[in-house]
Amino acid sequence: MSLNSADLMNNANQAGLVVPAFNIPYLPMMEPVIQALMDEDTFGLVETARLEWFKFEAQGLQAIAEEFARWEQPDYVRLHLDHVPVIDEDDVEVDYLPIIKEAIDLGYESVMIDGSRLSLFDNIAATKEVVALAHTAGIPCEAELGAVLGHESGPLPPYEELYISGQGFTDVEEAKQFVAETDCDWLSVAVGSVHGAVSGVLKDQKKLEARLHIEHLQKLHGATNIPLVLHGGSGVQRRYLMEAIQNGISKVNIGTEIRQAYEQALRGSNDVQKAQQACYQRTRWLLKDYFELSGSRDQVFGDSH
Protein backbone atom coordinates (compact mmCIF):
# COMPACT_ATOMS: atom_id res chain seq x y z
CA MET A 1 0.00 0.00 0.00
CA SER A 2 2.05 2.92 -1.26
CA LEU A 3 -0.09 5.87 -0.20
CA ASN A 4 -1.28 6.38 3.37
CA SER A 5 -4.39 8.25 4.46
CA ALA A 6 -2.47 11.53 4.80
CA ASP A 7 -1.22 11.28 1.19
CA LEU A 8 -4.71 10.51 -0.09
CA MET A 9 -6.24 13.40 1.83
CA ASN A 10 -3.61 15.79 0.48
CA ASN A 11 -4.24 14.56 -3.07
CA ALA A 12 -7.97 15.11 -2.64
CA ASN A 13 -7.32 18.57 -1.23
CA GLN A 14 -5.14 19.54 -4.19
CA ALA A 15 -7.70 18.17 -6.67
CA GLY A 16 -10.52 20.18 -5.08
CA LEU A 17 -12.26 16.98 -4.00
CA VAL A 18 -13.62 15.91 -0.65
CA VAL A 19 -13.09 12.60 1.14
CA PRO A 20 -16.42 11.40 2.56
CA ALA A 21 -16.10 9.65 5.93
CA PHE A 22 -18.96 7.38 6.96
CA ASN A 23 -19.67 6.53 10.58
CA ILE A 24 -20.63 2.92 11.29
CA PRO A 25 -22.84 2.77 14.41
CA TYR A 26 -24.11 -0.74 13.47
CA LEU A 27 -21.71 -3.40 12.20
CA PRO A 28 -23.96 -4.57 9.30
CA MET A 29 -23.62 -1.07 7.78
CA MET A 30 -19.94 -1.72 6.97
CA GLU A 31 -20.48 -3.93 3.91
CA PRO A 32 -23.03 -1.71 2.10
CA VAL A 33 -21.00 1.46 2.66
CA ILE A 34 -17.84 -0.13 1.24
CA GLN A 35 -19.81 -1.64 -1.65
CA ALA A 36 -21.29 1.78 -2.45
CA LEU A 37 -17.81 3.34 -2.56
CA MET A 38 -16.66 0.62 -4.95
CA ASP A 39 -19.72 0.86 -7.17
CA GLU A 40 -19.35 4.64 -7.45
CA ASP A 41 -15.58 4.35 -7.97
CA THR A 42 -14.96 6.76 -5.11
CA PHE A 43 -12.39 6.86 -2.32
CA GLY A 44 -13.67 7.35 1.23
CA LEU A 45 -13.15 6.51 4.87
CA VAL A 46 -15.21 4.44 7.23
CA GLU A 47 -14.95 5.49 10.83
CA THR A 48 -16.08 4.79 14.34
CA ALA A 49 -16.46 7.22 17.24
CA ARG A 50 -16.29 6.28 20.89
CA LEU A 51 -19.92 7.27 21.54
CA GLU A 52 -21.08 4.74 18.89
CA TRP A 53 -19.84 1.88 21.07
CA PHE A 54 -22.02 2.96 23.98
CA LYS A 55 -25.05 4.69 22.46
CA PHE A 56 -25.44 2.42 19.43
CA GLU A 57 -24.23 -1.07 18.54
CA ALA A 58 -20.79 -0.64 17.01
CA GLN A 59 -19.42 -2.70 19.95
CA GLY A 60 -15.93 -1.20 20.03
CA LEU A 61 -12.62 -0.70 18.32
CA GLN A 62 -11.87 -4.35 17.77
CA ALA A 63 -15.32 -5.31 16.49
CA ILE A 64 -15.19 -2.49 13.93
CA ALA A 65 -11.63 -3.42 12.88
CA GLU A 66 -12.64 -7.07 12.42
CA GLU A 67 -15.73 -6.18 10.39
CA PHE A 68 -13.65 -3.78 8.28
CA ALA A 69 -11.11 -6.54 7.62
CA ARG A 70 -13.89 -8.76 6.23
CA TRP A 71 -14.72 -6.24 3.49
CA GLU A 72 -11.50 -4.25 3.25
CA GLN A 73 -10.68 -2.68 -0.13
CA PRO A 74 -7.58 -0.45 0.27
CA ASP A 75 -8.04 1.03 -3.22
CA TYR A 76 -11.41 2.42 -2.14
CA VAL A 77 -11.53 2.81 1.63
CA ARG A 78 -9.42 3.18 4.76
CA LEU A 79 -10.31 2.89 8.45
CA HIS A 80 -10.37 6.01 10.64
CA LEU A 81 -10.86 6.44 14.38
CA ASP A 82 -13.33 9.30 14.80
CA HIS A 83 -14.02 11.31 17.99
CA VAL A 84 -12.07 10.12 21.01
CA PRO A 85 -12.85 12.96 23.40
CA VAL A 86 -10.77 14.05 26.36
CA ILE A 87 -14.07 15.13 27.94
CA ASP A 88 -17.11 13.51 26.37
CA GLU A 89 -20.58 14.79 25.44
CA ASP A 90 -21.82 13.97 28.96
CA ASP A 91 -18.95 15.95 30.57
CA VAL A 92 -17.18 12.76 31.67
CA GLU A 93 -13.38 12.62 31.57
CA VAL A 94 -12.14 9.91 29.20
CA ASP A 95 -8.97 7.84 29.53
CA TYR A 96 -8.22 8.57 25.90
CA LEU A 97 -4.60 7.50 25.36
CA PRO A 98 -5.21 3.73 25.79
CA ILE A 99 -8.06 3.97 23.25
CA ILE A 100 -5.83 5.67 20.68
CA LYS A 101 -2.99 3.21 21.33
CA GLU A 102 -5.34 0.26 20.88
CA ALA A 103 -6.63 1.66 17.59
CA ILE A 104 -3.08 2.07 16.29
CA ASP A 105 -2.25 -1.49 17.36
CA LEU A 106 -5.38 -2.75 15.58
CA GLY A 107 -4.30 -1.13 12.32
CA TYR A 108 -6.49 1.98 12.14
CA GLU A 109 -4.98 4.14 9.43
CA SER A 110 -5.74 7.54 11.00
CA VAL A 111 -6.95 8.67 14.42
CA MET A 112 -8.74 11.63 15.96
CA ILE A 113 -8.30 13.27 19.34
CA ASP A 114 -11.07 15.64 20.39
CA GLY A 115 -9.92 18.14 22.99
CA SER A 116 -12.51 20.71 21.95
CA ARG A 117 -14.08 20.89 25.42
CA LEU A 118 -10.72 21.87 26.94
CA SER A 119 -9.01 25.24 27.16
CA LEU A 120 -6.78 26.08 24.19
CA PHE A 121 -3.67 25.35 26.28
CA ASP A 122 -4.92 21.93 27.41
CA ASN A 123 -6.25 21.03 23.95
CA ILE A 124 -2.83 21.75 22.47
CA ALA A 125 -1.10 19.63 25.14
CA ALA A 126 -3.42 16.63 24.67
CA THR A 127 -3.29 16.87 20.88
CA LYS A 128 0.52 17.09 20.78
CA GLU A 129 0.73 13.85 22.75
CA VAL A 130 -1.61 12.00 20.38
CA VAL A 131 0.03 13.48 17.24
CA ALA A 132 3.38 12.12 18.48
CA LEU A 133 1.87 8.65 18.95
CA ALA A 134 0.24 8.69 15.52
CA HIS A 135 3.29 10.00 13.69
CA THR A 136 5.52 7.42 15.36
CA ALA A 137 3.17 4.82 13.88
CA GLY A 138 3.32 6.54 10.49
CA ILE A 139 -0.33 7.63 10.40
CA PRO A 140 -2.07 11.04 10.41
CA CYS A 141 -3.88 12.60 13.35
CA GLU A 142 -7.04 14.71 13.21
CA ALA A 143 -7.82 17.21 15.96
CA GLU A 144 -10.71 19.54 16.75
CA LEU A 145 -10.86 23.19 17.70
CA GLY A 146 -14.12 25.01 18.27
CA ALA A 147 -17.46 23.50 19.24
CA VAL A 148 -19.56 21.51 16.77
CA LEU A 149 -22.61 21.06 19.01
CA GLY A 150 -25.32 18.41 18.85
CA HIS A 151 -24.04 15.32 20.67
CA GLU A 152 -24.97 16.69 24.08
CA SER A 153 -28.19 15.52 25.71
CA GLY A 154 -31.06 18.02 25.61
CA PRO A 155 -32.13 20.43 22.87
CA LEU A 156 -29.75 22.79 21.12
CA PRO A 157 -30.22 26.57 21.35
CA PRO A 158 -32.12 27.88 18.29
CA TYR A 159 -29.92 27.30 15.23
CA GLU A 160 -30.22 30.84 13.87
CA GLU A 161 -29.08 32.17 17.22
CA LEU A 162 -26.06 29.86 17.12
CA TYR A 163 -25.18 30.75 13.55
CA ILE A 164 -25.58 34.51 13.73
CA SER A 165 -23.69 34.76 17.02
CA GLY A 166 -20.92 32.47 15.76
CA GLN A 167 -21.15 30.62 19.07
CA GLY A 168 -18.54 27.87 19.13
CA PHE A 169 -16.99 28.88 15.78
CA THR A 170 -13.27 28.08 15.55
CA ASP A 171 -11.19 31.19 16.25
CA VAL A 172 -8.82 32.00 13.37
CA GLU A 173 -5.82 33.10 15.44
CA GLU A 174 -6.25 30.16 17.82
CA ALA A 175 -6.38 27.79 14.84
CA LYS A 176 -3.11 29.17 13.47
CA GLN A 177 -1.42 28.72 16.86
CA PHE A 178 -2.99 25.29 17.40
CA VAL A 179 -1.78 23.82 14.10
CA ALA A 180 1.71 25.30 14.49
CA GLU A 181 2.13 23.92 18.01
CA THR A 182 0.50 20.50 17.62
CA ASP A 183 1.59 19.51 14.08
CA CYS A 184 -1.82 17.87 13.57
CA ASP A 185 -2.49 16.70 10.02
CA TRP A 186 -6.20 17.55 9.73
CA LEU A 187 -8.29 19.98 11.75
CA SER A 188 -12.00 19.71 12.43
CA VAL A 189 -13.42 23.23 12.48
CA ALA A 190 -16.73 24.73 13.55
CA VAL A 191 -18.25 27.01 10.90
CA GLY A 192 -21.99 26.37 11.24
CA SER A 193 -22.62 22.62 11.09
CA VAL A 194 -24.06 20.62 14.00
CA HIS A 195 -23.73 16.99 14.99
CA GLY A 196 -26.76 14.72 14.78
CA ALA A 197 -28.40 13.95 18.12
CA VAL A 198 -27.32 10.62 19.59
CA SER A 199 -29.70 10.13 22.49
CA GLY A 200 -33.40 10.15 23.32
CA VAL A 201 -36.16 10.84 20.82
CA LEU A 202 -34.07 13.52 19.08
CA LYS A 203 -31.85 10.88 17.44
CA ASP A 204 -34.76 9.80 15.20
CA GLN A 205 -35.79 13.28 14.12
CA LYS A 206 -34.85 14.79 10.77
CA LYS A 207 -31.73 16.85 11.14
CA LEU A 208 -31.95 20.62 10.73
CA GLU A 209 -30.61 22.16 7.53
CA ALA A 210 -27.41 23.87 8.58
CA ARG A 211 -25.56 26.62 6.74
CA LEU A 212 -21.82 27.19 6.61
CA HIS A 213 -20.01 30.49 7.10
CA ILE A 214 -17.79 30.37 4.01
CA GLU A 215 -15.95 33.63 4.69
CA HIS A 216 -14.92 32.39 8.14
CA LEU A 217 -13.86 29.06 6.62
CA GLN A 218 -11.66 30.87 4.08
CA LYS A 219 -9.88 32.66 6.92
CA LEU A 220 -9.33 29.38 8.77
CA HIS A 221 -7.96 27.71 5.66
CA GLY A 222 -5.57 30.59 5.04
CA ALA A 223 -4.38 30.54 8.66
CA THR A 224 -3.84 26.76 8.92
CA ASN A 225 -2.90 25.60 5.41
CA ILE A 226 -3.83 21.97 6.17
CA PRO A 227 -6.87 19.87 5.17
CA LEU A 228 -9.90 20.95 7.19
CA VAL A 229 -12.68 18.62 8.30
CA LEU A 230 -16.42 19.24 8.55
CA HIS A 231 -18.17 17.24 11.25
CA GLY A 232 -21.95 17.02 11.22
CA GLY A 233 -22.07 16.82 7.42
CA SER A 234 -25.57 15.33 7.24
CA GLY A 235 -28.21 17.95 6.58
CA VAL A 236 -25.90 20.77 5.50
CA GLN A 237 -27.47 22.67 2.61
CA ARG A 238 -25.75 21.39 -0.49
CA ARG A 239 -24.75 24.73 -2.00
CA TYR A 240 -22.87 25.62 1.18
CA LEU A 241 -21.19 22.24 1.29
CA MET A 242 -19.97 22.41 -2.31
CA GLU A 243 -18.60 25.90 -1.69
CA ALA A 244 -16.88 24.71 1.49
CA ILE A 245 -15.09 21.95 -0.45
CA GLN A 246 -13.57 24.63 -2.69
CA ASN A 247 -12.43 26.56 0.39
CA GLY A 248 -10.46 24.04 2.41
CA ILE A 249 -12.86 21.30 3.56
CA SER A 250 -11.17 18.05 2.52
CA LYS A 251 -13.11 15.55 4.66
CA VAL A 252 -16.79 15.50 5.55
CA ASN A 253 -18.18 13.21 8.24
CA ILE A 254 -21.54 11.59 7.49
CA GLY A 255 -23.41 9.75 10.23
CA THR A 256 -27.07 10.64 10.68
CA GLU A 257 -27.94 10.42 6.97
CA ILE A 258 -27.04 6.74 6.58
CA ARG A 259 -27.77 5.71 10.17
CA GLN A 260 -31.39 6.82 9.97
CA ALA A 261 -31.85 5.10 6.59
CA TYR A 262 -30.60 1.87 8.16
CA GLU A 263 -32.65 2.21 11.36
CA GLN A 264 -35.89 3.14 9.62
CA ALA A 265 -35.66 0.21 7.20
CA LEU A 266 -34.86 -2.16 10.06
CA ARG A 267 -37.79 -0.93 12.13
CA GLY A 268 -40.12 -1.21 9.16
CA SER A 269 -39.07 -4.70 8.07
CA ASN A 270 -37.16 -6.33 10.94
CA ASP A 271 -34.85 -7.53 8.15
CA VAL A 272 -31.14 -6.69 8.37
CA GLN A 273 -30.65 -7.26 4.64
CA LYS A 274 -33.34 -4.70 3.80
CA ALA A 275 -31.73 -2.27 6.24
CA GLN A 276 -28.36 -2.86 4.56
CA GLN A 277 -29.92 -2.21 1.17
CA ALA A 278 -31.38 1.09 2.42
CA CYS A 279 -27.97 2.08 3.77
CA TYR A 280 -26.34 1.14 0.46
CA GLN A 281 -28.81 3.14 -1.61
CA ARG A 282 -28.45 6.21 0.63
CA THR A 283 -24.66 6.01 0.51
CA ARG A 284 -24.66 5.75 -3.28
CA TRP A 285 -27.01 8.71 -3.51
CA LEU A 286 -24.68 10.77 -1.32
CA LEU A 287 -21.63 9.87 -3.40
CA LYS A 288 -23.28 10.36 -6.78
CA ASP A 289 -25.82 13.14 -6.38
CA TYR A 290 -24.91 15.04 -3.22
CA PHE A 291 -21.11 15.09 -3.38
CA GLU A 292 -20.84 14.37 -7.15
CA LEU A 293 -17.82 12.12 -6.52
CA SER A 294 -18.58 9.22 -8.86
CA GLY A 295 -15.47 8.14 -10.76
CA SER A 296 -13.14 10.44 -8.80
CA ARG A 297 -10.99 7.75 -7.18
CA ASP A 298 -8.14 7.97 -9.71
CA GLN A 299 -7.72 11.67 -8.94
CA VAL A 300 -7.20 10.82 -5.26
CA PHE A 301 -4.68 8.06 -5.96
CA GLY A 302 -2.87 10.03 -8.67
CA ASP A 303 0.06 8.43 -10.48
CA SER A 304 0.52 5.77 -7.80
CA HIS A 305 -2.61 3.90 -8.85
- Quickly list DSSP for 62-124: HHHHHHHHHH--TTTEEEEEEEEESB-TTS-B--HHHHHHHHHHHT-SEEEEE-TTS-HHHHH
Number of domains within the chain: 1
Alpha carbons 145 and 142: distance in angstroms, whole number? 10
Average pLDDT over residues 12-32: 94
Q: What is the pLDDT of residue 159?
A: 60
> In terms of Cα–Cα distance, which of 85, 7, 73, 84 is closest to 41?
73
Q: What is the pLDDT of residue 207?
A: 45
pLDDT at position 157 over 80: no
**In terms of residue numbers, what domain contains 178?**
5-304
Q: What is the pLDDT of residue 61?
A: 95
Quick: pLDDT tens for 232-261.
777 788 899 999 999 999 999 998 899 999
Higher pLDDT, 55 or 190: 190
> In terms of Cα–Cα distance, which of 35, 91, 100, 63 is closest to 281?
35
The contacts of residue 69 (CB under 8 Å, 6+ apart) are none
Q: How long, in residues, is the chain?
A: 305
CATH assignment at residue 211: 3.20.20.70
pLDDT at position 197 over 60: no
Per-residue confidence band for 208, with pLDDT thresholds at 50, 70 and 90: low
pLDDT at position 22 over 70: yes
Please tell me what DSSP assigns to residue 48. E
Percent of the chain having pLDDT more than 90?
70
Please tell me what DSSP assigns to residue 287. I
pLDDT at position 69 over 50: yes
Average pLDDT over residues 30-38: 98
Per-residue confidence band for 33, with pLDDT thresholds at 50, 70 and 90: very high
Given the residues 7, 41, 82, 88, select the one marked as catalytic. 82
pLDDT at position 181 over 50: yes
Buried b (16+ CB within 10 A) or exposed e, 256-267: bbbbbbbbebbe
- Is 82 part of the annotated catalytic residue set? yes
